[in-house]
Chains A and B, each alone.
Chain A
Amino acid sequence: MTWIMARIVRAGLFGSLLLGAMFGISCTDPQRVSLLNVSFDPTREFFGEINAAFQKNWTATNATTLRIQQSHGGSAKQARAVIDGLDADVVTLALGHDIDRIAAETGILPRDWQQRLPNRSTPYTSTVVFMVRKGNPKRILNWPDLVRSGVQVITPNPKSSGGARWNYLAAYGWARRQPGGDDRSAREFVARIFRNVPVLDSGARGATVTFLQRGIGDVLLTWESEAHQALSHAEGLSGEIVTPSESIVAEPPVAVIDRNARKHGVLPLAECYLRFLYTEEAQMIAARHHFRPQLENAAMKAGVHFPPIVRFSLAEICGDWQAAHAAHFATGGWFDQIQSQRKP
Protein backbone atom coordinates (compact mmCIF):
# COMPACT_ATOMS: atom_id res chain seq x y z
CA MET A 1 0.00 0.00 0.00
CA THR A 2 2.73 2.42 0.93
CA TRP A 3 4.55 2.03 -2.34
CA ILE A 4 1.34 2.87 -4.16
CA MET A 5 0.96 6.01 -2.12
CA ALA A 6 4.58 6.87 -2.72
CA ARG A 7 4.02 6.45 -6.40
CA ILE A 8 0.97 8.63 -6.40
CA VAL A 9 2.77 11.30 -4.45
CA ARG A 10 5.66 11.13 -6.86
CA ALA A 11 3.32 11.32 -9.84
CA GLY A 12 1.62 14.30 -8.28
CA LEU A 13 4.94 16.03 -7.70
CA PHE A 14 5.97 15.33 -11.23
CA GLY A 15 2.70 16.67 -12.54
CA SER A 16 2.92 19.87 -10.57
CA LEU A 17 6.51 20.33 -11.69
CA LEU A 18 5.36 20.03 -15.26
CA LEU A 19 2.57 22.48 -14.68
CA GLY A 20 5.08 24.80 -13.11
CA ALA A 21 7.33 24.41 -16.13
CA MET A 22 4.39 25.07 -18.38
CA PHE A 23 3.57 28.38 -16.82
CA GLY A 24 7.14 29.16 -15.95
CA ILE A 25 8.11 29.19 -19.59
CA SER A 26 6.82 32.72 -19.89
CA CYS A 27 8.91 33.88 -16.93
CA THR A 28 11.82 35.99 -17.97
CA ASP A 29 15.40 35.68 -17.01
CA PRO A 30 16.57 39.10 -15.75
CA GLN A 31 19.79 38.73 -17.70
CA ARG A 32 17.89 38.15 -20.87
CA VAL A 33 15.65 40.68 -22.57
CA SER A 34 13.28 39.45 -25.17
CA LEU A 35 11.27 41.23 -27.80
CA LEU A 36 8.48 39.77 -29.92
CA ASN A 37 7.99 41.12 -33.42
CA VAL A 38 4.74 39.96 -35.01
CA SER A 39 5.09 40.38 -38.72
CA PHE A 40 3.59 39.23 -42.00
CA ASP A 41 4.76 36.66 -44.50
CA PRO A 42 7.32 38.16 -46.88
CA THR A 43 9.54 39.73 -44.24
CA ARG A 44 11.04 36.57 -42.73
CA GLU A 45 14.49 36.82 -44.27
CA PHE A 46 14.55 40.60 -43.99
CA PHE A 47 13.90 40.60 -40.26
CA GLY A 48 16.33 37.74 -39.83
CA GLU A 49 19.05 40.08 -40.99
CA ILE A 50 17.68 43.17 -39.26
CA ASN A 51 17.53 41.33 -35.94
CA ALA A 52 21.09 40.11 -36.28
CA ALA A 53 22.27 43.66 -36.98
CA PHE A 54 20.25 45.12 -34.13
CA GLN A 55 21.50 42.46 -31.75
CA LYS A 56 25.09 43.22 -32.69
CA ASN A 57 24.58 46.89 -31.87
CA TRP A 58 22.84 45.88 -28.67
CA THR A 59 25.55 43.58 -27.32
CA ALA A 60 28.14 46.25 -28.07
CA THR A 61 26.51 48.55 -25.52
CA ASN A 62 24.58 46.26 -23.14
CA ALA A 63 25.47 43.56 -20.67
CA THR A 64 22.19 41.70 -21.03
CA THR A 65 21.50 39.35 -23.90
CA LEU A 66 18.72 40.27 -26.26
CA ARG A 67 16.51 37.74 -27.92
CA ILE A 68 14.24 38.85 -30.73
CA GLN A 69 11.43 36.48 -31.57
CA GLN A 70 9.64 36.56 -34.87
CA SER A 71 6.15 35.42 -35.74
CA HIS A 72 5.06 35.37 -39.38
CA GLY A 73 1.78 34.70 -41.10
CA GLY A 74 -0.92 36.39 -43.13
CA SER A 75 -1.25 40.01 -42.01
CA ALA A 76 -4.92 39.91 -41.03
CA LYS A 77 -4.45 36.64 -39.18
CA GLN A 78 -1.49 38.04 -37.28
CA ALA A 79 -3.50 41.10 -36.31
CA ARG A 80 -6.27 38.87 -35.02
CA ALA A 81 -3.78 36.86 -32.98
CA VAL A 82 -2.53 40.07 -31.36
CA ILE A 83 -6.11 41.11 -30.62
CA ASP A 84 -6.79 37.68 -29.11
CA GLY A 85 -3.77 37.77 -26.85
CA LEU A 86 -0.56 37.19 -28.79
CA ASP A 87 1.88 39.30 -26.78
CA ALA A 88 3.54 41.30 -29.52
CA ASP A 89 5.88 44.08 -28.47
CA VAL A 90 6.03 45.44 -31.98
CA VAL A 91 3.95 44.71 -35.04
CA THR A 92 5.30 45.08 -38.56
CA LEU A 93 2.33 44.27 -40.77
CA ALA A 94 1.45 44.57 -44.42
CA LEU A 95 -0.99 47.43 -44.17
CA GLY A 96 -2.13 50.11 -41.80
CA HIS A 97 -5.65 48.78 -41.68
CA ASP A 98 -4.60 45.73 -39.69
CA ILE A 99 -2.84 47.83 -37.06
CA ASP A 100 -5.84 50.19 -37.00
CA ARG A 101 -7.99 47.21 -36.09
CA ILE A 102 -5.73 46.25 -33.21
CA ALA A 103 -5.92 49.82 -31.91
CA ALA A 104 -9.69 50.05 -32.37
CA GLU A 105 -10.58 46.68 -30.90
CA THR A 106 -8.24 46.53 -27.93
CA GLY A 107 -6.78 49.94 -27.21
CA ILE A 108 -3.37 48.42 -26.54
CA LEU A 109 -1.86 51.11 -28.73
CA PRO A 110 -3.20 54.58 -29.48
CA ARG A 111 -5.31 55.12 -32.57
CA ASP A 112 -2.92 57.73 -33.89
CA TRP A 113 -0.05 55.23 -33.94
CA GLN A 114 0.75 56.05 -37.54
CA GLN A 115 1.78 59.59 -36.64
CA ARG A 116 4.47 58.46 -34.21
CA LEU A 117 7.21 57.54 -36.64
CA PRO A 118 8.44 59.21 -39.84
CA ASN A 119 6.81 58.55 -43.22
CA ARG A 120 3.54 57.52 -41.63
CA SER A 121 5.38 54.82 -39.70
CA THR A 122 6.56 53.21 -42.90
CA PRO A 123 10.34 52.74 -42.91
CA TYR A 124 10.46 51.10 -46.34
CA THR A 125 8.00 50.50 -49.14
CA SER A 126 7.57 48.07 -51.97
CA THR A 127 5.55 47.78 -55.10
CA VAL A 128 3.60 45.14 -56.92
CA VAL A 129 5.38 43.45 -59.83
CA PHE A 130 4.84 40.37 -62.00
CA MET A 131 6.76 37.15 -61.89
CA VAL A 132 6.53 35.14 -65.09
CA ARG A 133 7.95 31.88 -66.37
CA LYS A 134 11.47 31.81 -67.80
CA GLY A 135 11.56 33.55 -71.17
CA ASN A 136 8.12 35.07 -70.56
CA PRO A 137 6.36 32.65 -72.95
CA LYS A 138 3.00 34.40 -72.62
CA ARG A 139 4.56 37.82 -73.19
CA ILE A 140 3.14 39.43 -70.09
CA LEU A 141 4.48 42.97 -69.95
CA ASN A 142 1.86 45.15 -68.35
CA TRP A 143 -1.44 45.10 -66.52
CA PRO A 144 -3.74 44.61 -69.57
CA ASP A 145 -1.95 41.34 -70.35
CA LEU A 146 -3.35 39.86 -67.15
CA VAL A 147 -6.92 39.85 -68.42
CA ARG A 148 -6.14 38.09 -71.70
CA SER A 149 -7.89 34.78 -71.95
CA GLY A 150 -5.62 31.82 -71.36
CA VAL A 151 -3.43 33.69 -68.92
CA GLN A 152 -3.52 32.24 -65.42
CA VAL A 153 -2.81 34.75 -62.67
CA ILE A 154 -1.67 33.68 -59.21
CA THR A 155 -2.35 36.03 -56.31
CA PRO A 156 -3.23 35.28 -52.72
CA ASN A 157 -6.64 35.98 -51.28
CA PRO A 158 -6.92 39.71 -50.55
CA LYS A 159 -9.29 39.03 -47.69
CA SER A 160 -6.67 37.17 -45.70
CA SER A 161 -3.40 38.43 -47.13
CA GLY A 162 -2.36 42.01 -46.62
CA GLY A 163 0.12 41.73 -49.47
CA ALA A 164 -2.65 40.65 -51.78
CA ARG A 165 -4.72 43.71 -50.93
CA TRP A 166 -1.93 45.77 -52.37
CA ASN A 167 -1.92 43.51 -55.46
CA TYR A 168 -5.63 44.06 -55.85
CA LEU A 169 -5.39 47.79 -55.35
CA ALA A 170 -2.46 48.05 -57.77
CA ALA A 171 -4.60 46.51 -60.50
CA TYR A 172 -7.55 48.66 -59.53
CA GLY A 173 -5.42 51.79 -59.42
CA TRP A 174 -3.82 51.16 -62.78
CA ALA A 175 -7.22 50.76 -64.45
CA ARG A 176 -8.60 53.77 -62.68
CA ARG A 177 -5.74 55.97 -63.78
CA GLN A 178 -6.18 55.07 -67.45
CA PRO A 179 -7.72 57.71 -69.66
CA GLY A 180 -11.47 57.50 -69.14
CA GLY A 181 -11.01 55.20 -66.21
CA ASP A 182 -13.30 55.46 -63.24
CA ASP A 183 -14.37 53.36 -60.27
CA ARG A 184 -16.67 51.22 -62.40
CA SER A 185 -14.18 50.43 -65.15
CA ALA A 186 -11.51 49.73 -62.54
CA ARG A 187 -13.78 47.33 -60.65
CA GLU A 188 -14.58 45.57 -63.90
CA PHE A 189 -10.85 45.28 -64.68
CA VAL A 190 -10.15 43.72 -61.30
CA ALA A 191 -13.05 41.31 -61.76
CA ARG A 192 -11.61 40.23 -65.11
CA ILE A 193 -8.22 39.57 -63.54
CA PHE A 194 -9.76 37.45 -60.80
CA ARG A 195 -11.59 35.40 -63.40
CA ASN A 196 -8.10 34.32 -64.50
CA VAL A 197 -7.05 33.33 -60.99
CA PRO A 198 -7.11 29.54 -60.57
CA VAL A 199 -5.83 29.38 -56.99
CA LEU A 200 -6.27 31.77 -54.08
CA ASP A 201 -3.75 30.97 -51.39
CA SER A 202 -4.33 32.51 -48.01
CA GLY A 203 -0.91 34.17 -47.82
CA ALA A 204 1.77 35.64 -50.06
CA ARG A 205 4.14 32.79 -49.27
CA GLY A 206 1.59 30.18 -50.20
CA ALA A 207 1.01 31.87 -53.54
CA THR A 208 4.73 31.94 -54.30
CA VAL A 209 4.99 28.24 -53.46
CA THR A 210 2.03 27.53 -55.73
CA PHE A 211 3.62 29.42 -58.60
CA LEU A 212 7.23 28.34 -58.30
CA GLN A 213 7.20 24.92 -56.68
CA ARG A 214 3.92 23.58 -57.92
CA GLY A 215 4.32 25.24 -61.32
CA ILE A 216 0.78 26.59 -61.48
CA GLY A 217 -0.13 29.75 -63.39
CA ASP A 218 1.57 32.02 -65.93
CA VAL A 219 2.08 35.09 -63.80
CA LEU A 220 2.39 35.70 -60.09
CA LEU A 221 1.35 39.05 -58.68
CA THR A 222 3.71 39.77 -55.86
CA TRP A 223 5.71 42.36 -54.05
CA GLU A 224 9.01 43.28 -55.60
CA SER A 225 10.82 42.16 -52.44
CA GLU A 226 9.06 38.81 -52.34
CA ALA A 227 9.74 38.21 -56.04
CA HIS A 228 13.50 38.65 -55.59
CA GLN A 229 13.45 36.67 -52.38
CA ALA A 230 11.64 33.79 -54.04
CA LEU A 231 13.94 33.72 -57.05
CA SER A 232 17.06 33.65 -54.91
CA HIS A 233 15.69 30.67 -52.98
CA ALA A 234 14.01 28.89 -55.81
CA GLU A 235 16.55 26.06 -56.03
CA GLY A 236 16.65 25.37 -59.71
CA LEU A 237 13.18 26.64 -60.39
CA SER A 238 13.24 29.70 -62.51
CA GLY A 239 11.16 32.73 -63.21
CA GLU A 240 11.60 36.28 -64.40
CA ILE A 241 10.49 39.53 -62.88
CA VAL A 242 8.52 41.92 -65.07
CA THR A 243 8.03 45.44 -63.78
CA PRO A 244 4.85 47.00 -65.11
CA SER A 245 4.77 50.64 -66.23
CA GLU A 246 2.81 51.73 -63.18
CA SER A 247 2.10 50.21 -59.84
CA ILE A 248 1.13 51.07 -56.30
CA VAL A 249 3.32 52.15 -53.41
CA ALA A 250 2.88 49.29 -50.98
CA GLU A 251 3.34 50.64 -47.47
CA PRO A 252 3.92 48.09 -44.72
CA PRO A 253 3.85 50.11 -41.48
CA VAL A 254 5.35 49.34 -38.09
CA ALA A 255 4.16 50.13 -34.57
CA VAL A 256 5.01 49.54 -30.95
CA ILE A 257 2.23 47.81 -29.01
CA ASP A 258 2.57 50.09 -26.02
CA ARG A 259 0.71 48.12 -23.44
CA ASN A 260 2.50 44.82 -24.11
CA ALA A 261 5.93 46.42 -24.35
CA ARG A 262 5.35 48.31 -21.12
CA LYS A 263 4.16 45.15 -19.40
CA HIS A 264 7.34 43.36 -20.48
CA GLY A 265 9.44 46.34 -19.52
CA VAL A 266 10.80 46.77 -23.02
CA LEU A 267 9.01 49.92 -24.18
CA PRO A 268 12.19 51.96 -24.81
CA LEU A 269 13.80 48.96 -26.45
CA ALA A 270 10.81 48.42 -28.75
CA GLU A 271 10.85 52.08 -29.77
CA CYS A 272 14.57 51.91 -30.33
CA TYR A 273 14.11 48.77 -32.44
CA LEU A 274 11.64 50.46 -34.76
CA ARG A 275 13.74 53.62 -35.01
CA PHE A 276 16.64 51.40 -35.97
CA LEU A 277 14.70 50.52 -39.12
CA TYR A 278 15.15 54.12 -40.27
CA THR A 279 18.94 54.13 -39.83
CA GLU A 280 21.22 53.90 -42.81
CA GLU A 281 22.36 50.44 -41.79
CA ALA A 282 18.83 49.06 -41.69
CA GLN A 283 17.81 50.94 -44.82
CA MET A 284 20.67 49.28 -46.67
CA ILE A 285 19.53 45.90 -45.41
CA ALA A 286 16.04 46.76 -46.62
CA ALA A 287 17.43 47.65 -50.04
CA ARG A 288 19.36 44.39 -50.21
CA HIS A 289 16.07 42.58 -49.59
CA HIS A 290 14.51 44.70 -52.35
CA PHE A 291 12.31 46.76 -50.11
CA ARG A 292 12.54 50.30 -51.43
CA PRO A 293 14.24 52.31 -48.68
CA GLN A 294 12.99 55.74 -47.61
CA LEU A 295 16.52 57.01 -47.18
CA GLU A 296 17.58 58.37 -50.48
CA ASN A 297 20.98 56.94 -51.23
CA ALA A 298 20.64 53.74 -49.21
CA ALA A 299 19.87 51.70 -52.32
CA MET A 300 22.88 53.10 -54.15
CA LYS A 301 25.12 52.44 -51.18
CA ALA A 302 23.84 48.90 -50.92
CA GLY A 303 24.50 48.49 -54.62
CA VAL A 304 20.93 47.61 -55.44
CA HIS A 305 19.26 48.98 -58.52
CA PHE A 306 15.51 49.44 -58.47
CA PRO A 307 13.94 49.61 -61.93
CA PRO A 308 12.09 52.87 -62.56
CA ILE A 309 8.37 52.67 -62.19
CA VAL A 310 5.58 55.20 -61.79
CA ARG A 311 4.12 54.55 -58.38
CA PHE A 312 0.78 55.86 -57.22
CA SER A 313 -0.41 55.85 -53.63
CA LEU A 314 -3.48 54.43 -51.98
CA ALA A 315 -4.66 57.96 -51.24
CA GLU A 316 -4.70 58.81 -54.94
CA ILE A 317 -6.99 55.95 -55.90
CA CYS A 318 -9.39 55.39 -53.03
CA GLY A 319 -8.63 57.64 -50.12
CA ASP A 320 -7.74 55.65 -47.06
CA TRP A 321 -7.88 52.06 -45.81
CA GLN A 322 -11.21 52.61 -44.15
CA ALA A 323 -12.79 53.42 -47.50
CA ALA A 324 -10.84 50.78 -49.43
CA HIS A 325 -11.81 48.10 -46.95
CA ALA A 326 -15.49 48.99 -46.96
CA ALA A 327 -15.72 49.16 -50.75
CA HIS A 328 -13.63 46.15 -51.67
CA PHE A 329 -12.68 43.76 -48.91
CA ALA A 330 -15.41 43.83 -46.28
CA THR A 331 -18.01 41.05 -46.26
CA GLY A 332 -20.25 41.73 -49.24
CA GLY A 333 -17.69 44.10 -50.74
CA TRP A 334 -16.58 44.07 -54.35
CA PHE A 335 -14.18 41.16 -53.90
CA ASP A 336 -16.95 38.99 -52.44
CA GLN A 337 -19.17 39.96 -55.35
CA ILE A 338 -16.45 38.98 -57.83
CA GLN A 339 -16.09 35.66 -56.08
CA SER A 340 -19.76 34.87 -56.18
CA GLN A 341 -19.86 35.73 -59.89
CA ARG A 342 -17.22 33.07 -60.41
CA LYS A 343 -19.60 30.52 -59.06
CA PRO A 344 -20.00 27.75 -61.61
Chain B
Amino acid sequence: MNEISQRRVISVIVINESSVLSRITDLFSARGYNIESLTVAPIPESKYSRLTIVTSGSLRVSEQITKQLHKLIPILKVIEHEDIVEKEMALVKFSLDEDISAIDTLAQAYNGKIVNVGDNSVIAMVADESKRVGNFLKAIQKYNPKEIVRSGAVALER
Protein backbone atom coordinates (compact mmCIF):
# COMPACT_ATOMS: atom_id res chain seq x y z
CA MET B 1 0.00 0.00 0.00
CA ASN B 2 2.78 2.36 1.00
CA GLU B 3 4.76 1.49 -2.09
CA ILE B 4 2.20 2.37 -4.81
CA SER B 5 3.56 5.20 -6.92
CA GLN B 6 1.13 7.99 -7.72
CA ARG B 7 1.02 11.61 -8.80
CA ARG B 8 1.42 14.10 -5.94
CA VAL B 9 1.11 17.85 -5.75
CA ILE B 10 3.21 19.70 -3.17
CA SER B 11 3.19 23.42 -2.42
CA VAL B 12 6.26 24.97 -0.85
CA ILE B 13 6.43 28.41 0.75
CA VAL B 14 10.00 29.75 0.73
CA ILE B 15 11.82 32.94 1.52
CA ASN B 16 12.27 34.73 -1.78
CA GLU B 17 16.08 34.89 -1.83
CA SER B 18 18.80 33.99 -4.29
CA SER B 19 19.60 30.30 -4.86
CA VAL B 20 16.55 29.04 -2.98
CA LEU B 21 15.21 27.41 -6.14
CA SER B 22 18.47 25.53 -6.70
CA ARG B 23 18.38 24.29 -3.11
CA ILE B 24 15.04 22.67 -3.91
CA THR B 25 15.86 21.27 -7.34
CA ASP B 26 19.29 20.05 -6.05
CA LEU B 27 17.50 18.17 -3.30
CA PHE B 28 15.22 16.45 -5.83
CA SER B 29 18.09 15.40 -8.08
CA ALA B 30 20.44 14.41 -5.22
CA ARG B 31 17.85 12.10 -3.69
CA GLY B 32 16.54 10.73 -6.96
CA TYR B 33 13.06 12.26 -6.73
CA ASN B 34 11.23 13.08 -9.88
CA ILE B 35 9.82 16.51 -10.84
CA GLU B 36 6.98 16.46 -13.37
CA SER B 37 6.40 20.18 -13.24
CA LEU B 38 7.43 23.12 -11.11
CA THR B 39 6.05 26.62 -10.99
CA VAL B 40 7.27 29.48 -8.87
CA ALA B 41 6.18 33.08 -8.29
CA PRO B 42 6.36 35.59 -5.45
CA ILE B 43 3.45 35.80 -3.01
CA PRO B 44 2.13 39.37 -3.26
CA GLU B 45 3.11 41.76 -0.46
CA SER B 46 5.35 39.31 1.37
CA LYS B 47 8.97 38.19 1.38
CA TYR B 48 7.88 34.69 0.33
CA SER B 49 7.46 32.81 -2.90
CA ARG B 50 5.19 29.87 -3.55
CA LEU B 51 6.22 26.84 -5.53
CA THR B 52 3.91 24.17 -6.82
CA ILE B 53 5.71 20.93 -7.52
CA VAL B 54 4.10 17.98 -9.24
CA THR B 55 5.96 14.78 -8.50
CA SER B 56 5.26 11.09 -8.32
CA GLY B 57 6.24 8.41 -5.86
CA SER B 58 5.06 6.07 -3.16
CA LEU B 59 3.68 7.33 0.13
CA ARG B 60 7.03 6.59 1.76
CA VAL B 61 8.93 8.58 -0.88
CA SER B 62 6.53 11.50 -0.74
CA GLU B 63 6.82 11.61 3.06
CA GLN B 64 10.59 11.76 2.67
CA ILE B 65 10.33 14.52 0.07
CA THR B 66 8.19 16.57 2.44
CA LYS B 67 10.53 16.02 5.39
CA GLN B 68 13.70 16.68 3.42
CA LEU B 69 12.20 19.89 1.98
CA HIS B 70 11.33 20.98 5.51
CA LYS B 71 14.98 20.62 6.51
CA LEU B 72 16.09 23.30 4.04
CA ILE B 73 16.61 26.44 6.08
CA PRO B 74 14.72 29.03 3.91
CA ILE B 75 11.58 26.88 3.64
CA LEU B 76 8.66 28.06 5.74
CA LYS B 77 6.01 25.52 4.89
CA VAL B 78 5.54 22.36 2.85
CA ILE B 79 1.96 21.46 2.05
CA GLU B 80 1.17 18.06 0.63
CA HIS B 81 -2.21 18.44 -0.99
CA GLU B 82 -5.05 16.02 -0.86
CA ASP B 83 -8.20 17.96 -1.65
CA ILE B 84 -7.20 20.63 -4.14
CA VAL B 85 -8.21 22.89 -6.93
CA GLU B 86 -5.53 22.53 -9.55
CA LYS B 87 -5.10 24.51 -12.75
CA GLU B 88 -2.60 24.59 -15.53
CA MET B 89 -2.32 26.82 -18.54
CA ALA B 90 -1.23 26.00 -22.08
CA LEU B 91 -0.56 28.21 -25.08
CA VAL B 92 -0.71 26.73 -28.57
CA LYS B 93 0.26 28.38 -31.83
CA PHE B 94 -1.54 27.46 -35.08
CA SER B 95 -1.17 28.52 -38.66
CA LEU B 96 -3.88 30.90 -39.95
CA ASP B 97 -4.63 28.29 -42.60
CA GLU B 98 -6.20 25.99 -39.98
CA ASP B 99 -9.88 26.02 -38.98
CA ILE B 100 -9.68 28.86 -36.45
CA SER B 101 -13.34 28.79 -35.43
CA ALA B 102 -13.13 25.08 -34.65
CA ILE B 103 -9.99 25.72 -32.56
CA ASP B 104 -11.71 28.58 -30.73
CA THR B 105 -14.74 26.41 -29.93
CA LEU B 106 -12.51 23.66 -28.66
CA ALA B 107 -10.48 26.10 -26.52
CA GLN B 108 -13.64 27.48 -24.97
CA ALA B 109 -14.59 24.00 -23.83
CA TYR B 110 -11.36 24.05 -21.81
CA ASN B 111 -11.76 27.51 -20.24
CA GLY B 112 -9.82 29.14 -23.04
CA LYS B 113 -9.96 31.19 -26.18
CA ILE B 114 -7.91 32.65 -29.01
CA VAL B 115 -5.69 35.23 -27.32
CA ASN B 116 -3.61 36.53 -30.21
CA VAL B 117 -3.94 36.81 -33.96
CA GLY B 118 -0.82 37.58 -35.92
CA ASP B 119 0.07 37.94 -39.61
CA ASN B 120 0.26 34.23 -40.25
CA SER B 121 -0.53 32.52 -36.94
CA VAL B 122 -2.95 32.52 -33.99
CA ILE B 123 -2.35 31.61 -30.36
CA ALA B 124 -4.97 29.78 -28.33
CA MET B 125 -4.91 29.64 -24.53
CA VAL B 126 -6.56 27.11 -22.23
CA ALA B 127 -6.56 26.96 -18.43
CA ASP B 128 -7.84 23.80 -16.80
CA GLU B 129 -6.92 20.77 -14.74
CA SER B 130 -3.64 19.28 -15.91
CA LYS B 131 -5.33 16.14 -17.13
CA ARG B 132 -7.86 18.13 -19.16
CA VAL B 133 -5.11 20.30 -20.61
CA GLY B 134 -3.58 17.02 -21.78
CA ASN B 135 -6.87 16.07 -23.40
CA PHE B 136 -7.08 19.42 -25.15
CA LEU B 137 -3.59 19.00 -26.55
CA LYS B 138 -4.59 15.62 -27.95
CA ALA B 139 -7.76 17.03 -29.44
CA ILE B 140 -6.02 19.83 -31.33
CA GLN B 141 -3.44 17.54 -32.93
CA LYS B 142 -5.42 17.47 -36.16
CA TYR B 143 -5.04 21.25 -36.51
CA ASN B 144 -1.24 20.85 -36.73
CA PRO B 145 -0.11 22.96 -33.76
CA LYS B 146 3.19 24.70 -34.51
CA GLU B 147 4.28 25.28 -30.93
CA ILE B 148 2.96 24.21 -27.53
CA VAL B 149 3.91 25.51 -24.09
CA ARG B 150 2.51 24.28 -20.75
CA SER B 151 2.87 26.27 -17.57
CA GLY B 152 2.98 23.45 -15.05
CA ALA B 153 0.32 23.13 -12.40
CA VAL B 154 -0.64 25.53 -9.65
CA ALA B 155 -2.84 24.37 -6.81
CA LEU B 156 -4.76 25.52 -3.76
CA GLU B 157 -6.27 23.44 -1.00
CA ARG B 158 -10.07 23.63 -1.03
**A and B interact:** no
